[in-house]
Structure 1
Amino acid sequence: MALPATADKSRTKRIFAASFIGTAIEWYDYYIFGTAAALAFGSLFYPKFSPVAGTLAAFATFAVGFVARPLGAAIIGHFGDRIGRKSMLILTLLMTGGATFAIGLLPTYAAIGVGAPVLLVALRLIQGFGVGGEWGGAVLIATEHASPRRRAVYGSFAQLGLPAGVLLSNLAFLAVSGMSNEDFLSYGWRIPFIISIVLVVVGFMIRSKLEDAPEFQAVKQDKATSKVPVADLVRRQSGTLLLASLASIAPPAVGYTVIAYMLNYGTTVVGFSRSTLLTLILLSTAAWGATIVGAAVLADRFGSKKVYLFGALTAVIWPWPMFEMVNTKSTGLALIAFMVAAIVQGLMAGAQGGLFTDIFEVRTRYSGISISYQLGGMIGGAITPLVATALFGAYKSSTPIALYVSALALVSLLAALGLRNQAKAREAAAGAAQPVDGGVPATEPAR
């Protein structure tokens, strides 16, 4: 009959819209902060510092949001595992979007003195707290509606929101990049923050129509939800949590090197114009999105872990060539460098949603994938621009930066090797527990 097929397509479209659009809005908010930190916040909120110190302070404010992310992941994940995915997704959207809009209205240091950076840090903490629970919920609302053979593709719905958010944020800053430096620092930087409120309203309307997936609803109906998900997670899957956290470092390490640090490095060290770099990063997002889709399809066919490992391996190799190509000051070579970096990210992103859904148990899954993703993001995303700025200040060379990013990717590669699919592990345990030649079970299944 046509009706079930039509209904299924309609449901898939709703899931895609909720997972993709909400995540795109969240990451639009997050990336415009990173862009503003590179281009404006040093002089506007930390004018008493030297240019290098001001940039470091701006990136430190950027990093503060990452500190709040694991806390947000744990608390929002707790209620996501107990109450449901939908309500937490609406909360994360409102927290991040509201904080972003407020940043656009902040007075600067020249107007209120030290209160300006204090308020900026406070809003950054709220923004980071909300983002802490966003990715996990957006992935789960999609993957838990999918069959095991389609989980990577459904998981890519949320992942596609990342390049879309970068695309929107770069378009917003590109629109104001033609202003004079005086006008940009006066009011131009505020425009991308203020207009984000429109996107938040759209995301709220879409997510309010969501339903939690049958897989989680079954856990609630059976009254099998965890009373303290994080405690159960640590008790039952601490090793998986650690490995997943380490495996999550590589994608943001590569991504924030390009999106956050390279904007500052490319303009102040290499000599590119601000608009040129924004345009190149903008163009690379097309390769990022296309690779996510392709990697997700391959992950469902050959296994999410294999595709993720391949992506992590490319992340180990690419940082040094990327910096060398940017250092030539050739627009064409810089575009290729960013394109390949986008493909590297896309390989891991396309497989990550399906992989992380499979390695955690349903009753603690929101907490597990949120905490591991955010811990990895804190190391790979928050610290990388700071370390990169400090390394260049100390050595006046991009080589130590490239080696640092490669080392982070190597950690992720080794950690991902140890991740295990929970469903397959249970099947293996059940098979091993069957009687051997009519005798007793070969092993006793874990209780």
Structure 2
Amino acid sequence: MSSAAIDNDDIPPTQQRELRRVVTASVVGTALEWYDFFIYGFAVTLVFNTLFFPTSDPTVGTIAGFATFGVGFAIRPLGGFLFGHLGDRVGRRATLVITTLIMGLSTGLIGLLPTYETIGVAAPILLTMLRICQGLGAGAEFGGASTLLCEHAPAHRRGYLSSYAQTGVQIGLLLGTVTFLLVERLGTETVQAWAWRLPFLFSFALIAVSLYVRLRVAESPVFERMSSDRRTVQLPVFDALRRYPRNFLIGIGAHICDTAVVYIYATFSVAYLQQTLELPRWIGLTGVITFTVVVIVLQPVYGALSDRIGRKPLNLFSVVFTALFAFPFFALLSTEQPVLIWLALVVAASLGLAPMIAVQPAFYAELFGARVRYTGFAASREIGAALGGFSPLVASALVIQADGEGWLVAAWMVGTAVVSLVAFAFAHETKDVDITAAEAPNARTASGG
């Protein structure tokens, strides 16, 4: 057996019952963990700007809150490197259990924090520390769930089945949006007093659900074969960077656009509509809910399409459309008409964001060989997330610079789309890659050749 391949005959195909279990665990697990990560963004504009970052200007408080929102992204690469290493050394499933505990506990503890009024500056410091813990867990969550799912999936359905990992992320966004929409119905005073804590405390219950579904799935057959043959590597981080420098850079650039724009659509737009355009908050939240449902519905459609035409065409189309639609998007928001605002979000979701993120799980898994897949996937993607994750903070500052206009934010979105366009242009088509191979086809040899 060569040092670069694993004998496919030694890896039996995953049975349909087990495959359904893996898909379910991926959807449920990512949904619950990303619910944890997303609700922080909603809380920034709802309560954190006044309860943890009090200033005379609520917009300044919002910017401070979005800064801590971005801290979660800044720490995600560390989570990708750390837990990616564990995932390539001890297993995909075991690592996902660890990230579940980190995400769930840190989110639940946010719901128990005293506010600035009670303990002063210690309140935002503790909040930021828990956001850092969220970032560590999130840094490996999606990469691990996608890797596990891709390594179970048959090659001809890899794009379709792995798209459900991304569907779970969007379900998490939907759950977070709906939760805060329901909490707001309790009234401003009640929300400010105690009700804002409920979405965070709910995370304690979600830990049990996520652990239940993840402990019932089998470890990746690809990893099991590598482990039994003692083919895992001692330092996956080093090998990922040494053998796949080109793909690592592609992975970074590929995730900048979708990270930046999804938080423009899903979190910043709510604050923009409410604080700058002075529209009722329900308009923005309803738009985000509609936006998210559209993305959820289209994920498997685009995933299946990528199995037919490839990952690269969909990636290129989505970033080009996102760039072209950035200025029309803010023009529609500026009409202040709910129907046109919702139309803007639906169009952005269906033709820009949905194809880009549906392809992502398979695209990243196919960039790296099996021995460093978790590390390469998680670390490269999360560096891109760190670069694009401060988007709500950048957007808030740009709106101030533009005296309430959105054109500078649109220009920022175009810039991020150009970065990802370059990454996708340099990427090879990967849909026919054999991901059971210990090394990807374009890996550098040990001597660097």
In the alignment, the residues of structure 1 paired with residue 434 and residue 163 of structure 2 have an alpha-carbon distance, to the nearest angstrom, of 25
Query: Of residues 189, 211, 224 in structure 2, which corresponds to 1:182?
Result: 189
Q: Give the Å deviation of 1:52.
A: 2.6
2:88 is aligned with 1:81:
yes
2:348 is aligned with 1:345:
no
Q: Give the Å deviation of 1:224.
A: 1.3
- 1:312-391 to structure 2, matched below 5 A, reads 312-343=319-350, 344-381=352-389, 383-391=390-398
CA pair 49-60 structure 1, distance change in 2 beyond 3 A:
farther
After superposition, give the CA deviation of every residue in 1:329-388 in whole Å (9 maximum; x if it has no partner): 11100111111222221111111111111111111110111012111111222x211111
In the alignment, the residues of structure 1 paired with residue 162 and residue 318 of structure 2 have an alpha-carbon distance, to the nearest angstrom, of 16
2:449 is aligned with 1:415:
no
Letter in 2 for 1:20: V
- 1:5-404 to structure 2, matched below 5 A, reads 8-48=15-55, 50-343=57-350, 344-381=352-389, 383-396=390-403, 397-404=405-412
CA pair 56-146 structure 1, distance change in 2 beyond 3 A:
same
Secondary structure of the corresponding residue to residue 414 of structure 1? helix
Letter in 2 for 1:335: W
The runs of 5 or more residues in structure 2 that have no matched partner are 1-13, 436-440, 442-446
Q: Give the Å deviation of 1:321.
A: 1.0
In the alignment, the residues of structure 2 paired with residue 202 and residue 356 of structure 1 have an alpha-carbon distance, to the nearest angstrom, of 27
Secondary structure of the corresponding residue to residue 413 of structure 1? helix
After superposition, give the CA deviation of every residue in 1:136-173 in whole Å (9 maximum; x if it has no partner): 01001110011222111121121001110111111100
Q: How many residues align?
A: 425
Secondary structure of the corresponding residue to residue 153 of structure 2? coil
CA pair 157-422 structure 1, distance change in 2 beyond 3 A:
closer
CA pair 97-156 structure 1, distance change in 2 beyond 3 A:
same
In the alignment, the residues of structure 2 paired with residue 423 and residue 333 of structure 1 have an alpha-carbon distance, to the nearest angstrom, of 37
In the alignment, the residues of structure 2 paired with residue 104 and residue 424 of structure 1 have an alpha-carbon distance, to the nearest angstrom, of 46
Letter in 2 for 1:373: R
Point out the more displaced range, 300-309 or 83-92.
300-309
* Cα pair 1:65 1:128 within 8 Å, conserved: yes
* Cα pair 2:311 2:429 within 8 Å, conserved: no
Q: Percent identity?
A: 36
After superposition, give the CA deviation of every residue in 1:230-260 in whole Å (9 maximum; x if it has no partner): 1111111112101111011111111100112
Per the normalisation by structure 2, the TM-score is 0.91
Per the normalisation by structure 1, the TM-score is 0.91
Superposition CA RMSD, Å: 2.0
* Cα pair 1:244 1:419 within 8 Å, conserved: no
In the alignment, the residues of structure 1 paired with residue 209 and residue 315 of structure 2 have an alpha-carbon distance, to the nearest angstrom, of 32
Structure with higher RCO (Cα < 8 A, 6+ apart): 2
In the alignment, the residues of structure 2 paired with residue 214 and residue 370 of structure 1 have an alpha-carbon distance, to the nearest angstrom, of 19
CA pair 13-276 structure 1, distance change in 2 beyond 3 A:
same
CA pair 231-446 structure 1, distance change in 2 beyond 3 A:
closer
Structure 1 consecutive aligned stretches of length 4 or more whose deviation exceeds 4 Å: 421-427
Q: Give the Å deviation of 1:392.
A: 1.0
Larger Rg: 1
In the alignment, the residues of structure 1 paired with residue 302 and residue 430 of structure 2 have an alpha-carbon distance, to the nearest angstrom, of 21
In the alignment, the residues of structure 2 paired with residue 423 and residue 398 of structure 1 have an alpha-carbon distance, to the nearest angstrom, of 38
CA pair 15-393 structure 1, distance change in 2 beyond 3 A:
same
After superposition, give the CA deviation of every residue in 1:163-200 in whole Å (9 maximum; x if it has no partner): 10111111100111123222211112111111122222
Letter in 1 for 2:122: G
Q: Give the Å deviation of 1:50.
A: 3.0
Match of 2:6 in 1: none
Q: Give the Å deviation of 1:51.
A: 2.2
CA pair 320-189 structure 1, distance change in 2 beyond 3 A:
same
* Cα pair 1:322 1:341 within 8 Å, conserved: yes
Q: Give the Å deviation of 1:53.
A: 2.1
CA pair 9-425 structure 1, distance change in 2 beyond 3 A:
closer
